[in-house]
Every structure is written in C-alpha cells, then in structure tokens.
Amino acid sequence: MSEKPKSKAAGEFTLIDLFLSRFPRARVPVGPGDDCAVLTPSKGAQCITTDAVVEDVHFKRDWFTSEDIGHKALAVNLSDLASMGAIPRWFVCALALPRDFPRRELLGLARGMSALAREHGIALIGGNFTSARELSITVTAAGELPPGTAPITRAGGRPGDALYVSGTLGEARLGLQQLLSGQRRSAAILRQKRPKPRVELGRLAARFATAGLDLSDGLAQDLGHLCMASGVGAQLELERLPVSRAVRASLGVEGALAGGEDYELLLAVPAERTAAFERACLRAEEPVTCIGRLTPGQPGHIHDAMGRTLRLPAGYDHFRGGGRIDRSRR
C-alpha cells in the first residue's frame, strides 16, 4: 500500500485509507505509505508464508459476510505459521476488488481481518489494491521462531512418533455441504467461514513435535505429505479420529478424512515426549487426540492396527477440484 503518485486516480487511495483505518499503526521503522515496509531483524529465524482466498473458490459473497472473508484470508496464513511453531509478527495484504465493490464491504473485510490480527498480535505493514472481475485477497505473513528453536517441518518425523491432531475433523466440509444445500447457519458453517488458526498450540508444539503441518487439504492427503517428506509410513487408528456426531452422520469417517479447510494441526511427537505434551496441551486447553503413529517401511504407506493397507480418499486439489466452492457447483 504505497504512497499516492499524482498520476493515479484518487479513488484507489481513498479505498486504501479506508481499509487501513481499521488497523492500528504498525510498530516498524517503515510501514504502509512507502514502496516497501522496513523491518528490524530478529535474533530468531523468520517463517514466511503466502496464501490467497478467491471468490467462487474459497467463498461466495452471497454466503459469506465481508467480515467472514477478511477473517478467513488472514486465518489460513496464521495456520501456516502455527504449523511451524512461529510467533506471528507482520503481514502484507493484496486486494483485488471489483470496480463496484461497496465501501461498507471493504470496511467489513478490514474489520474481520483486523479483529483476528489483534487477537494474535500480528501487524499489517503494507500491501496493494487493484481492480478485478472477482474479489480475491492474497496475504503474505511473517512469523518468528524463538531464538534457538527449530521450525516444525514435514520432514522431521521418525518411526515410533505418535500422531496427534487438534480439534475435530470434517466440520468445514460439512459446512460447505450445508451451504450448497441452502442452509445458512450451523456450527459447521461457522467452521467453514471462520477457521480458528491454532497459533498457541503451534508455539507449544515447538517444544515437543518432530514434524507437523496444518490440515488445509484433508487429513488423508496431508498425512501423506508428512509421511513422504519424512520417509516413513503410518499406522492410523480410524476409530480414534475426533469426528463429531453430525459429521459422522452426514459424511462418515471417509468424508472427514477427505474434508479440506479444517486448519487443524497434525503433529508427530516422539513416544518419550507424549505424556509431557498431553499435559501441556491440557493446561493450555488445546484439544488434541492421538490417532496413530509413524512406522518404518515404504514412505507414504498408511495401514491400520492389523497391518492392512488403508485406501484413503483423495483430498482437495486446486486443479482437480473436490472440496471447495467452484463455478461448477453454483
């Protein structure tokens, strides 16, 4: 969100000022108003992520309030930082808006985003506005690891590590199904619209976990990513999956496995640390469930307690579809 050049139309910069008005001034050497933000280096390693939410892919404006959209745009990036054990610090935001986008909706985007930013202590330090046929918001977020702390990556898992998942699975997919059927309010729909990034759990897990990632494309697919990166297999106990009664009745366990946009954390914790990890999660009121363990053998091979290969459903793929809102499902 750079300084206004004389050759540009004033309307763009009125929108920028309107959007920025909902955010506190960032405590950085240079923030919004110049061509780049300037940050003070930290002693800890930096974690950087970027993600976008796009109209008719991640949301429909008929179904989502502008506050919902602003919240979700930042939440999906905070979830990535959480999965690495990073403390959120700064973000930049690029908005592509239809030319007739109402100012009240722009303020709504800012309200939803700024409320979540304040909750997690992350500052808006810049960005960009442009016009487009459809609304999209791209956020690039940065976090810091405490000095001496290693990031939680997908590649650190070892045979024998216990597998934990936070929260419950499948509600976001159930919420999408309900929206598509015409329903407009439910606990599952709220999970679809307002995912909760597990930032505090990520910071806690940095003391215990060897590997992890956030569940954006479904447990089945994301567990495969972790196993392939770590060069291990996994034993999955399907009966232990944290699935609500509503999800079990509507989607079944397979639907919960394939459901994208849960934004829960999947973590691998060495056996000797599991008791301490569970106690720490209990004290922090962060719900986690042990759903299996990593095993030696063929990377990515996932089996049950009897050793039988599990044929898990595919998760979401942007270029094949299968879980988020798209044009074919209007």
pLDDT in tens, 20-54: 888 988 888 998 888 898 988 788 899 999 999 99
Q: What is the pLDDT of residue 325?
A: 64
In tens, the pLDDT along 211-228 reads: 999 999 999 999 999 999
Q: What is the pLDDT of residue 56?
A: 92
Q: What is the pLDDT of residue 314?
A: 66
Q: What percentage of the chain carries pLDDT values higher than 90? A: 75
In tens, the pLDDT along 89-110 reads: 999 999 999 999 999 999 999 9
Q: What is the pLDDT of residue 17?
A: 87
Report d(CA 250, CA 225) in Å as an integer: 27
Q: What is the pLDDT of residue 330?
A: 34
Residue 164 CB partners (closer than 8 Å, separation 6+): 266, 267, 268, 269, 277, 288, 289, 290, 291
Report d(CA 155, CA 231) in Å as an integer: 8
Domains of the chain, first to last: 10-144 (3.30.1330.10), 154-312 (3.90.650.10)
Sheet holding 233-236, edge to edge: 211-214, 265-269, 162-166, 288-295, 233-236, 302-303
Extended beta strands in 229-328, E state: 233-236, 265-269, 288-295, 302-303
Q: What is the pLDDT of residue 28?
A: 86
Q: Minimal CA–CA distance to 218: which of 170, 253, 180?
A: 170
Return the SS3 of 183: coil
pTM: 0.90
Q: Give me the helix-helix angle, 103-120 and 10-20, nearest 10°.
A: 40
Extended beta strands in 45-86, E state: 46-54
Q: What is the pLDDT of residue 138?
A: 98
Return the SS3 of 131: strand
Mean pLDDT score across all residues of the chain? 90
Q: What is the pLDDT of residue 3?
A: 39
In tens, the pLDDT along 167-203 reads: 999 999 999 999 999 999 999 999 999 999 999 999 9
Model confidence at 5, pLDDT cuts 50, 70, 90, reads: very low
Answer yes or no: is pLDDT of 323 > 70. Answer: no
Q: What percentage of the chain carries pLDDT values higher than 70? A: 92
Model confidence at 312, pLDDT cuts 50, 70, 90, reads: confident
